[in-house]
Amino acid sequence: MPRRPGMATFAILKAIDTGYRHGFDIIDVTGLPGGTVYPALGRLETEGLLQSQWEDPRIAQQEGRPPRRYYEMRPAGKRALDEWVRQLRQLEQLPASSRLKARPGKA
Amino acid sequence: MTEPILIRLCRHAIAALSSLAPAWRADDVRREWLAELHARTAGAAGSGLGRVAQLRLLARCCGAIFFVVWSWKHEWSLDMSTVDVRYGLRMLVRRPAFSIIAIATLALGIGATTAIFSAVHGVLLTPLPYPRPDRLVKISGVDARQGNLALGNLSVPDVVDYTRLATSFEALGAHNLGSFVTVTGGAEAERAPYLLVTSGYFRALAAQTSLGRLFVAEEDRPTPPDVVVISDGFWKRRFGGDPQIVGKSILLGGQPSTVIGVLAPGFVHPDPSLDAQPDVFALLDPDPEMSGRGGRYVRALARLSDGVSLQAAEAELKGIAASLEKEYVKSNTGRSIAMRPLAREVTGDVRTPLVVLQAATCAILLIVCVNLANLLLAAGSTRAGELTVRRALGATRTRVMRQLLTESLVLATVGGIGGLAVAWWGTSALSTLTAISALHRGRIAVDATVLLFALGISVIAGLIFGVIPAAQIARGADGALAGATTRHTDGRGARRLRASLVTVEVALSVALLIGAGLLIRSFWYLTHVDPGFRTNQVLSVRIAVPSTRYDDPQRQVFFDRLYSRIRTLAGVQSVGAVNILPLSGGYSCDGFHVLGQVVETGQEPCAEVRSASPSYFETMGIDLVDGRLFTERDDAAAPRVVVVNQALARQFFSNENPVGRRIVYSSRRQNDAREIIGVVRDVRHFGLDREPMPEFYTPQAQPPGYGGIFVVIRYDGDPAPLVPSLRHELRALEPDVPLYGVRTLAELIDQSVADAKVRTQLLGLFAALALVLATLGSYGVISVAVSQRTREMGIRMALGADASHVVRLIVRQGMLPVLAGTVIGLAGAVVLVRALEGMLFNVRPADPVTFTLAPLVIIASGVLAAWLPARRACRVPAADVLR
């Protein structure tokens, strides 16, 4: 059953889209706990928004470290992210209420 | 450079947590997390990590557990629930006959176990409804003289001394055995359950009021104030929840008393022997002159002080009892106390029967599981083809096993749902039983814990009957995969497995049958005991005349007028009265001695004393053995006389005729010599299973007189129309005397054996169920074995074996596991029946009749189970088989 994606999901998608591709890097940049990020990565992969691959072991060997797993956007993930950004922009452009003073949004 | 310890811990955490993930994922998880950790800690970036950063990293690594949990959830939602469960449900529908039998037997097994558990949970496992109930103890009096009639009561002065001297308790209180009091004024006169207590009673139970206050220690004084505390229910029912009730006066037995408090809702009196929870609480009079140390009619309970053990408190009270024994030689010789946790005391009578019944239901559930395991094993050989194909297509053996187990769990869950329906019905039946005391009745219900229990045993049952067949069948599919024969006969292993399952269920049924047999025989003896009085066509009603309105002579006049009015009613043959009716729960144990016999001080015997009207014996059918009965002339002015029972005559006049001898009645109110004018037959006062006690009767018209009496009426025809006319006659004489406790003596007898009846019926039912299930089980196993050997039988018969030979062969082989089970069951029963010892009457636990009959029944049903399939096998024409 598809769930309504939450803020954490989009933070993770955005992080990967921006170029953070390893689990711990995503944890660092989003500030989310590892207990949230890893299950979310697993779920996004199952749902086909992301895919993961193992780094070429030869490169890792040359650098004297174990190969790392990296995550990449799939087209569906990119579309979901774009849609979310679009909705966010729409929200920003809500006309200010006459009673409440609108706060200027950050660009 | 050595690695910091925290980083090493990170590695260990990752290794440990990743190993918990589903097998196919575990390696990936470990590699990914270790690589990430390495990237953070190795090289220039890692060397400078501070302690705080390392700790943070460790916390992050421990977060892997969330991923493990998620991956399992994901895993299960992927195939366990969606594929296997749906497949399991389809299998249920595809094999309707098997499914119906399996679900019905599971529902019976799980339902019976859950229903009994709801009683076990409500009565034995739920703590008593008081704050810190583990600190509450019951203090019982111990007396060598009373022997097996351990009533455990104490005298009020003794309790006062214990309260004053003991230091082990936060509070110590006493209560009497409860009675009824007539409440008049305002609404109609009513008999309310009435309890006399000391102030420590409420303090020990940590009772709370919703209005007013409870008794205080200063009120425990001779001639205590006329103040009462009432129950929440009584306050709402009789006074409509009047918020101004505190300080108001109510009439109890004609005397005004002031209500000082209303108990908070939910307060219960912790004495299971009471028929009804008390509504009115008043103060016990602690005056030693009033009741004396010989009058033991109260029970004591206490709350231990913090840090004091039960043993220490008991030792202290025993010390005080010893000093009282020295001080009051006449009354206290041989008297001491015993202390037990209140919770044990309250559940004393029902604990063993409940545990036995719970064990019986567990045995039934186990038999059900064994039968289902056998059915699944048999079904498995027909499914070998399907499973082999699955294995060939790449399913692992674990995967096949998991699918089979899921099917079992689906079956168990559906059975469990059916079981809940059975349990719900069984629980409502159990909680209405008279055998369950008023204290526990409300606590037996299907609640969250019971639901959880039902779920738990359903899963356990599913595993029990699922694991062995799943492993066996999965292994069978392996064999087929390796190219073994495809013919659907089982190997020796499977046959042996099924035979041993039959052995298990037969052993369980033998043990259950023996237990039930013992109870049934015991119950038969119990209901065929002569109670000593006639039980047909006798009605008993209770009336209570207030002592404030009638003195002794007036009261006797009132009674005589009432009897003669009742005698004129249609259908009444005779009318008698007594102060304590047999089997009604009352007793006296008053001191006496035979004039002319030497009794050492403090060794004076006690007897049951009853005050009876002249026609009491005739009405009750208590036969005269020697001498004469009371007449109208044995009145207050006549010489004092008594009639004794045979037990007293035997014990105190072994070879002599007691008629004409004199006894001294030396209770707290009497001290005079009375002539024995007659001997009557023994009556079982304390229960059909209790031997009669020495007893003597005094004429109702001679002291001591009692205001509260049982009127017994022998009648013709139907007693129902009699009761309104009785009420009418009583009201015509005296409107404020209530009539209550209407019962026939047959009902009284039924009620006295209700406990024994219930447990006998339940265990009998369970044993019958076990017998049927075990017979069906061995029938099923032998049938399968025979159908697989039909070819062999055909060959044997074609070669000249006659039918009877083949039948004998099959029966002999089929009987082996049954006989083995019988022997094991007998051996187990020898040990297990000891638990029943306290419930048996006139039957020894090692009763030879039961121990012979039960195995015979099992063997006979085993022979039947083997003979039916054997006969069928012989009827198949040899040519058909060989073709």
CB contact under 8 A, A34 and B60: yes
CB contact under 8 A, B38 and A65: yes
What chain A residue is nearest to B39 in terms of C-alpha separation?
A65
Tell me the mean pLDDT in the region B842-855. Answer: 89
pLDDT-based confidence at residue B682 (cuts at 50, 70, 90): very high
DSSP state of B135: G
CA–CA dist B221, B635 (Å, integer): 37
Which of A22, A39, A43 lies at the smallest CB-CB distance from B36? A22
Q: Produce one character per residue of B80-104: b if its CB has 16 or more CB atoms within 10 Å, e if not.
A: beeebbeebeebbeeeeebbebbbe
**Residue A106: predicted pLDDT:** 43
* Same-domain status, B690 and B821: no
Q: Is the pLDDT of residue B643 over 90?
A: yes
* Same-domain status, B723 and B848: no
- Nearest chain B Cα distance for residue A25, angstroms: 9
**Residue B881: predicted pLDDT:** 63
- Domain assignment present for residue B439? The answer is no
Using an 8 Å CB-CB cutoff, list chain A residues near B31. Answer: 66-67, 69
**Amino acid sitting at position B8:** R
Range among B663-677, B814-828, B837-851 with highest mean pLDDT value: B814-828
**Residue B149: predicted pLDDT:** 45
Count Cα atoms within 13 angstroms, Cβ side, for B550.
Answer: 19
B39 lies within 8 A of chain A by CB: yes
* Same-domain status, B665 and B789: no
CA–CA dist B201, B173 (Å, integer): 4
- Nearest chain B Cα distance for residue A3, angstroms: 14
What chain B residue is nearest to A69 in terms of C-alpha separation?
B32
Which of B35, B42, B66 lies at the smallest CB-CB distance from A67? B35
* Same-domain status, B790 and B762: yes
**What residue numbers bound the domain in which B59 lies?**
5-72
A66 lies within 8 A of chain B by CB: yes
pLDDT-based confidence at residue B743 (cuts at 50, 70, 90): confident
Of the candidate ranges A26-30, A94-98, B467-471, B798-802, the one whose mean pLDDT is the lowest: A94-98
The three-state secondary structure class of B833 is helix
Asked if residue B140 lies in contact with residue B339, where contact means CB atoms within 8 angstroms, the answer is: yes
- Nearest chain A Cα distance for residue B199, angstroms: 59
What chain B residue is nearest to A1 in terms of C-alpha separation?
B77
CB contact under 8 A, A69 and B35: yes
CA–CA dist A65, B311 (Å, integer): 68
**Residue B487: predicted pLDDT:** 47
φ, ψ (nearest 5 deg) of residue B657 = -85, 120
Of the candidate ranges B143-157, B319-333, B366-380, B557-571, the one whose mean pLDDT is the lowest: B143-157
Q: Is the pLDDT of residue B185 over 90?
A: no
Burial of B463 (0-12, 13-18, 19+ CB in 10 A): middle
Of the candidate ranges B136-140, B171-175, B382-386, the one whose mean pLDDT is the lowest: B382-386
pLDDT-based confidence at residue B44 (cuts at 50, 70, 90): low
The three-state secondary structure class of B697 is strand
**Residue B819: predicted pLDDT:** 92
* Same-domain status, B185 and B312: yes
**Residue B260: predicted pLDDT:** 94
**Residue A90: predicted pLDDT:** 87
pLDDT tens across B502-527, in order? 899 899 999 989 988 998 998 899 88
**Amino acid sitting at position B157:** P
Range among A66-75, B21-30, B325-334, B441-450 with highest mean pLDDT value: A66-75
Q: Is the pLDDT of residue B147 over 60?
A: no
**Residue B782: predicted pLDDT:** 78
Q: In the CATH scheme, what is the code of domain A7-79?
A: 1.10.10.10
- Domain assignment present for residue B876? The answer is yes
pTM for the structure as a whole:
0.70
* Same-domain status, B695 and B780: no
Which of B36, B42, B65 lies at the smallest CB-CB distance from A23? B36
CB contact under 8 A, B67 and A38: yes
Average pLDDT of every residue of chain B: 83
Q: Is the dihedral of CA B670, B672, B673, B675 positive or negative?
A: negative
CB contact under 8 A, A22 and B74: no
**Residue A2: predicted pLDDT:** 44
Count each helix (H run) and each strand (E run) in chain A, helices first: 5, 2
Residue B388 CA: distances (Å) to CA of B397, B484, B497, B694: 10, 11, 21, 80
Degrees, nearest 5: CA angle B48-B52-B54: 65
CB contact under 8 A, A68 and B39: yes
pLDDT tens across B563-601, in order? 999 999 888 999 999 988 998 776 676 778 888 877 765
pLDDT tens across B849-881, in order? 999 999 999 899 888 888 888 887 777 666 666
- Domain assignment present for residue B790? The answer is yes
Q: Is the pLDDT of residue B837 over 70?
A: yes
**Residue B811: predicted pLDDT:** 86
Of the candidate ranges B525-529, B615-619, B835-839, the one whose mean pLDDT is the lowest: B835-839
- Of B42, B72, B102, which residue is a domain's last? B72
pLDDT-based confidence at residue B26 (cuts at 50, 70, 90): confident
* Same-domain status, B714 and B803: no
Count Cα atoms within 13 angstroms, Cβ side, for B879.
Answer: 0
Picking from B32, B34, B75 by the largest number of A CB atoms within 10 A of its own CB, the best residue to mutate is B32
Which of A39, A60, A66 lies at the smallest CB-CB distance from B67? A39
pLDDT tens across B387-440, in order? 788 778 777 777 788 888 888 888 999 999 999 999 988 887 777 665 556 566
Which of B39, B63, B70 lies at the smallest CB-CB distance from A42? B70
Using an 8 Å CB-CB cutoff, list chain A residues near B28. Answer: 69
**Residue B148: predicted pLDDT:** 39
- Nearest chain B Cα distance for residue A37, angstroms: 9
Which of A27, A33, A42 lies at the smallest CB-CB distance from B71? A42
Tell me the mean pLDDT in the region B743-750. Answer: 87
CA–CA dist B330, A1 (Å, integer): 85
**Residue B294: predicted pLDDT:** 63
Tell me the mean pLDDT in the region A84-97. Answer: 83
Tell me the mean pLDDT in the region B212-219. Answer: 91
- Nearest chain B Cα distance for residue A67, angstroms: 6
Give the residue from B710, B685, B706, B709 showing the smallest Cα distance to B540. Answer: B710
Residue B571 CA: distances (Å) to CA of B534, B560, B566, B713: 17, 19, 10, 10
A24 lies within 8 A of chain B by CB: yes
- Domain assignment present for residue B120? The answer is no
**Residue B501: predicted pLDDT:** 86
**Residue A1: predicted pLDDT:** 37
Using an 8 Å CB-CB cutoff, list chain A residues near B32. Answer: 23, 68-69
**Residue A92: predicted pLDDT:** 83
Q: How many domains does chain B have?
A: 4
CB contact under 8 A, B66 and A43: no
- Of B735, B765, B790, which residue is a domain's last? B735
pLDDT-based confidence at residue A105 (cuts at 50, 70, 90): very low
- Nearest chain A Cα distance for residue B372, angstroms: 35
- Nearest chain A Cα distance for residue B61, angstroms: 8
Q: What length is written for chain B?
A: 883
Range among B90-94, B115-119, B227-231, B762-766 with highest mean pLDDT value: B227-231
Which of B38, B67, B71 lies at the smallest CB-CB distance from A66? B38
B40 lies within 8 A of chain A by CB: yes
CA–CA dist B648, B695 (Å, integer): 6
* Same-domain status, B724 and B753: no
Q: Is the pLDDT of residue B129 over 70?
A: yes
**Residue B670: predicted pLDDT:** 62
Which of B33, B40, B66 lies at the smallest CB-CB distance from A39? B66
What percent of chain B has pLDDT above 70? Answer: 89
- Domain assignment present for residue B415? The answer is no
Of the candidate ranges A33-37, A95-99, B345-349, B536-540, the one whose mean pLDDT is the lowest: A95-99
Window 62-91 of B: residues touching A by CB (8 A cutoff) are 63-67, 69-71, 74
pLDDT tens across B242-298, in order? 899 999 998 887 788 999 999 999 888 887 767 678 999 999 887 655 456 666 778
B38 lies within 8 A of chain A by CB: yes
pLDDT tens across B711-728, in order? 999 998 888 888 888 888
* Same-domain status, B187 and B262: yes
- Domain assignment present for residue B869? The answer is yes
Decide which of B55 and B485 is more confident: B55
- Of B300, B317, B347, which residue is a domain's last? B347
A57 lies within 8 A of chain B by CB: no
- Domain assignment present for residue B611? The answer is yes
Count each helix (H run) and each strand (E run) in chain B, helices first: 28, 23
CB contact under 8 A, A42 and B64: no
Tell me the mean pLDDT in the region B818-841. Answer: 88
Q: Which secondary-structure segment (H or E) carries B431?
A: helix B397-431
Q: Which secondary-structure segment (H or E) carries B438?
A: helix B438-441
Asked if residue B407 lies in contact with residue B466, where contact means CB atoms within 8 angstroms, the answer is: yes
Which of A27, A35, A46 lies at the smallest CB-CB distance from B66? A35
Facing residues of B679 across strands? B626, B644
A34 lies within 8 A of chain B by CB: yes
For chain A, the structural domain boundaries read 7-79
CA–CA dist B259, B247 (Å, integer): 5
CA–CA dist B140, B155 (Å, integer): 11
What chain A residue is nearest to B63 in terms of C-alpha separation?
A35
CA–CA dist B522, B29 (Å, integer): 66
* Same-domain status, B818 and B730: no
* Same-domain status, B520 and B612: no
Window 4-33 of B: residues touching A by CB (8 A cutoff) are 28, 31-33
**Residue B171: predicted pLDDT:** 92
**Residue B644: predicted pLDDT:** 93
Range among B377-386, B411-420, B549-558, B683-692 with highest mean pLDDT value: B411-420
Facing residues of B190 across strands? B183
CB contact under 8 A, B66 and A69: no
**Residue B629: predicted pLDDT:** 92
What chain A residue is nearest to B66 in terms of C-alpha separation?
A35
- Domain assignment present for residue B784? The answer is yes
